[in-house]
């Protein structure tokens, strides 16, 4: 069984403005130490997936920076989508490439920007999923047992009954719930957080795409003969100009009858906002977390990032303060999800120098 890893790295990380920019988005940031999130993602695969079997699907604005960040991955494995078309296109494209190189291969499909500290447990769960996907040709997802009534994540419900070797049949997918529904999901015990991580044979996911997304299958199918040739980029642009954007969850996982779930045994965060960075950061006795030249007095439970300028905060609580060379963000921690509105404002007002 040969294993490939597909790292989805096309996001812009709009909730992490002003640090996250189009050419250096969230996955390329070192939010917790000297390693970027995408570097951590690749490092977690060490000993499990050979570098030549790792593909990164990104966009043209980020491809060069990702090549510099991950020099051990062959340049031919850094695939730049010409247009953003959501995750189903990314999955179909990567599966087509892997299938041509190795028709029997199993793929791990992983977001580039998650935080998973327990590498041994993570790899064990991946191997369990790989064996199941290889032998029984299922579509396996890793579900995170919820620890709180979280409204920022999608959920996956597992069927009742005894699982087969720790692998559960999936009953349904649920969108991000309101708080009352999230409480009910948590109490039920049969809803997991949707991690967005998948394991399948490349041939099996291509079969499912041909059933549920036949137009996408046809468009990606036109690339089959030119994969790993000098005609690939030209044909990729032509195919993507016709592809309609749809998520792999909505397009395939919610419809297929071959979907299974493994409960993750490792700690996990999708690092979805500055609030999540604050929660995961080391704090002082007043609950503050800071990076850079920072002074605080009578300030509590606040996250400050200011490596370039001296920043002081007096008598404030529960804030996010991000001070970069050209921009300043100040927001309440409980409104960290709304930072993406700033990016929308900048786009609509032609302030591209700040994007």
- pLDDT over 90, % of the chain: 94
Is beta strand 289-297 parallel, antiparallel or unpaired with respect to 259-263? unpaired
Name residue, tokens 């959501």: 86
pLDDT at 247 over 90: yes
Structure tokens at 133: 């996907």
Query: 152 and 292 share a domain?
Result: no
Structure tokens at 50: 């050979």
3-state helix vs strand vs coil in the chain, percent to 5: 35, 25, 35
Give 274's pLDDT tier (boundaries 50, 70, 90).
very high
pLDDT of residue 67: 96
For residue range 278-312, list pLDDT tens digits in order: 999 999 999 999 999 999 999 999 999 999 999 99
CATH number assigned to the domain comprising residue 151: 3.90.550.10
Helices and strands, number each (H, E), in the chain: 11, 13
Name residue, tokens 């032609």: 350
Q: Determine the length of the chain.
A: 355
Is beta strand 106-111 parallel, antiparallel or unpaired with respect to 3-8? parallel
- CA–CA gap between residue 182 and residue 173 (Å, rounded): 13
Query: 239 and 347 share a domain?
Result: no
- Yes or no: say if 151 and 182 are a contact pair by the CB < 8 Å rule: yes
Structure tokens at 253: 């996982």
- Yes or no: say if 200 and 106 are a contact pair by the CB < 8 Å rule: yes
Q: What is the DSSP letter of 103?
A: T
Q: Report the mean per-residue pLDDT for the chain.
A: 95
Query: 22 and 114 share a domain?
Result: yes
Structure tokens at 239: 């195919």
Based on the structure, what is the number of domains in the chain? Answer: 2
- Answer whether the bond into residue 18 is a cis peptide, omega within 30°: yes
- Yes or no: say if 101 and 80 are a contact pair by the CB < 8 Å rule: no
For residue range 317-353, list pLDDT tens digits in order: 999 999 999 999 999 999 999 999 999 999 999 999 9
Query: 252 and 296 share a domain?
Result: no
Query: 132 and 247 share a domain?
Result: yes
Bridge-partner residues for 158, per DSSP?
Answer: 170
Nearest alpha carbon to residue 291 among 278, 275, 273, 279: 278
Query: 250 and 304 share a domain?
Result: no
Structure tokens at 91: 């999955």
pLDDT at 164 over 80: no
Query: 251 and 317 share a domain?
Result: no
Of 240, 263, 286, which closes a domain? 263
From edge to edge, which strands make up the β-sheet containing 319-323? 289-297, 303-314, 319-323, 328-332
Asked if residue 343 is part of any domain, the answer here is: yes
């Amino acid at each position: 069984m040969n294993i490939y890893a597909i790292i989805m790295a096309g996001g812009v990380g709009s909730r992490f403005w002003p640090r996250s920019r189009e050419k250096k988005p969230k996955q390329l940031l070192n939010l917790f130490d000297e390693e970027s999130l995408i570097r951590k993602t690749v490092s977690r695969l060490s000993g499990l997936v050979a570098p030549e079997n790792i593909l990164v699907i990104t966009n043209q604005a980020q491809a060069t920076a990702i090549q510099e960040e991950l020099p051990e991955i062959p340049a031919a494995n850094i695939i730049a989508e010409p247009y953003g078309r959501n995750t189903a296109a990314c999955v179909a494209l990567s599966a087509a490439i892997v299938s041509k190189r190795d028709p029997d291969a199993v793929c791990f499909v992983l977001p580039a920007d998650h935080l998973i500290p327990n590498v041994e447990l993570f790899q064990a769960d991946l191997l369990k999923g790989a064996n199941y996907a290889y032998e029984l040709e299922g579509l396996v997802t890793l579900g995170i047992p919820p620890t709180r009534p979280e409204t920022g994540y999608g959920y996956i419900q597992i069927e009742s009954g005894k699982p087969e070797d720790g692998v559960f049949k999936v009953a349904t997918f649920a969108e991000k719930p309101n708080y009352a529904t999230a409480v009910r999901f948590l109490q039920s015990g049969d809803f997991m957080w949707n991690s967005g991580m998948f394991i399948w044979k490349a041939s099996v996911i291509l079969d499912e795409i041909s059933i549920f997304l036949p137009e996408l299958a046809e468009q990606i199918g036109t690339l089959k003969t030119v994969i790993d040739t000098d005609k690939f980029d030209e044909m990729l642009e032509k195919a993507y100009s016709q592809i309609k954007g749809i998520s792999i969850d909505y397009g395939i996982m919610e419809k297929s009858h071959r979907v299974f779930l493994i409960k993750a045994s490792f700690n996990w965060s999708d690092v979805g906002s500055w609030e999540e960075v604050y929660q995961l950061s080391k704090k002082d006795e007043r609950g503050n977390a800071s990076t850079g030249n920072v002074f605080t007095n009578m300030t509590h439970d606040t996250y400050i990032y200011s490596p370039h300028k001296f920043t002081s905060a007096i008598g404030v609580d529960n804030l996010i303060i991000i001070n970069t060379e050209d921009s300043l963000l100040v927001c309440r921690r409980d409104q960290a999800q709304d930072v993406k509105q700033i990016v929308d404002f900048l786009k609509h007002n032609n302030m591209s120098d700040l994007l």
